[in-house]
Amino acid sequence: MDIRYFDNAATTKVKSEVLEEMLPYLKEEYGNASSLYSIGRKAKRAIEKARRQVAELINCNPEEIYFTSCGTESDNTAIKGIAKAYRKKGKHIITSKIEHPAILHTCQSLEKQGYRVTYLSVDENGKINLDELRRVISMDTILISIMTANNEIGTIQPIEEISKITKMYNIIFHTDAVQACGNIPIDVQKMGIDSLSLSGHKINAPKGIGALYIKKGIEFEKFIDGGHQENDKRAGTENVAEIVALGKACEIAKNNLENHMKYLQELRDYFIKQIEENVQDVKLNGDREKRLPGNTNFSFKGIKGETLLLKLDEIGICASTGSACSSGVEAPSHVLTAIGLSSELANSSLRVTFGEENTKEDASYLIKNLIEIVENLRKNK
């Protein structure tokens, strides 16, 4: 059975150019980047090239990039590291209710250590309210962390407006751009971002590599102690092959961004139009305009997202639901609940996220089958 993969927000396929670029560092170029002989120096040079490639994607200086093991580690390092470095200035952090667990659970962990965290609500499209943000800022606010784009509903936040507010109050601004980098233009200087997380496996590099941008001059305590790698900010022998892969993936993402966005937007809009025209009682979740190019998220009234997912899986289609099923209890997605959906509607959601591997033919196959599955499930209720 052919697999048709529509879960590109969960992870993406490694591009063959990316694999080609990293393979020598798993074979003959196995030197430790800290070693002084030739293959060590070669590894070091490869890391520094990758650092420039990542920096170019988001328009920062290469020295402001730190390689990590994933987006989650980048988020942990930024939030905990900045919070600890500035604890004498204050212990208040502001974030939103719809962040990824990499941010939410990190903030909860800091709350246990005496920090105060405000979780901003969002409107029905998933956008934060800038007036509420201004209102909750206090004398001891040290950090504001708002994701660039949401992983479930694709909503893009008004990052430049948020950063203007943070600048006005001299507060550090972190953004989790794991879903955004490589999918929409990101310019940390123009957008006024102080700290940003990105992850390799969302942009056609392998799993297990991430990067953190932290603007020069901003202090943060390191998250992993040990050797002096990454300018003494992230210990551990560098994962050279994966760093090289991330660098290549960023270079490709930068060069192809316009075409990539256009291609994904066309697939996304075709899918949305067909579903809205052909299926009754559906609701598109997330902002219609300010939305990631490849993201769709629909609630199908009266049908469990999980049932849809399993039916699609039977014919080789991979998608995702907004609900996480833990120990038999269906917990509705915190994101869908935050935009005002009832538990029932939240549990009836299906996320379809397109990637460059998908063709219009694939999308048509998905649409045809999804329409049939929904009709049959509703008929047989």
Q: Is 8 in the site for ligand PLP (CB under 6 A)?
A: no
> Shortest gap between Cβ of 178 and ligand PLP (angstroms)?
4
Q: Is 338 in the site for ligand PLP (CB under 6 A)?
A: no
Which residue's CB is nearer to ligand PLP, number 178 or number 282?
178
Q: Give the binding range for ligand PLP (CB under 6 A) out of 66-74, 111-119, 212-220, 232-240.
A: 66-74
Is 318 known to be catalytic?
A: no
Among 210, 247, 294, 305, interactor with ligand PLP by CB under 6 A: 210
What angle separates helix 71-85 from helix 101-112, to the nearest 10 degrees? 30
Question: Please, which of residues 142-181 interact with ligand PLP by CB under 6 A?
Answer: 147, 151, 176, 178-179
Which residue's CB is nearer to ligand PLP, number 238 or number 242?
242
Which residue's CB is nearer to ligand PLP, number 76 or number 299?
76
> Of 70, 181, 318, 325, which is the active-site residue?
325
CB 213 within 8 A of CB 174: no
- CA–CA dist 371, 306 (Å, integer): 16
Number of residues that bind ligand PLP (CB under 6 A): 14
Q: Which residues contact 317 (CB under 8 A, 6 or more apart)?
A: 4, 6, 365, 366, 369
CB 192 within 8 A of CB 220: no
Q: Is 107 in the site for ligand PLP (CB under 6 A)?
A: no
- C-alpha closest to that of 355 among 4, 2, 1: 4
- CA–CA dist 73, 79 (Å, integer): 10
- In the chain the first and final C-alpha atoms are separated, in Å, by 29
Q: Is 54 in the site for ligand PLP (CB under 6 A)?
A: no
> Shortest gap between Cβ of 301 and ligand PLP (angstroms)?
26
- C-alpha closest to that of 374 among 324, 333, 319: 319
- CA–CA dist 68, 72 (Å, integer): 9
Q: Is 272 in the site for ligand PLP (CB under 6 A)?
A: no
- Residues labelled as active-site residues: 325
Interaction site with ligand PLP (CB under 6 A): 70-72, 75, 100, 102, 147, 151, 176, 178-179, 199, 201, 210
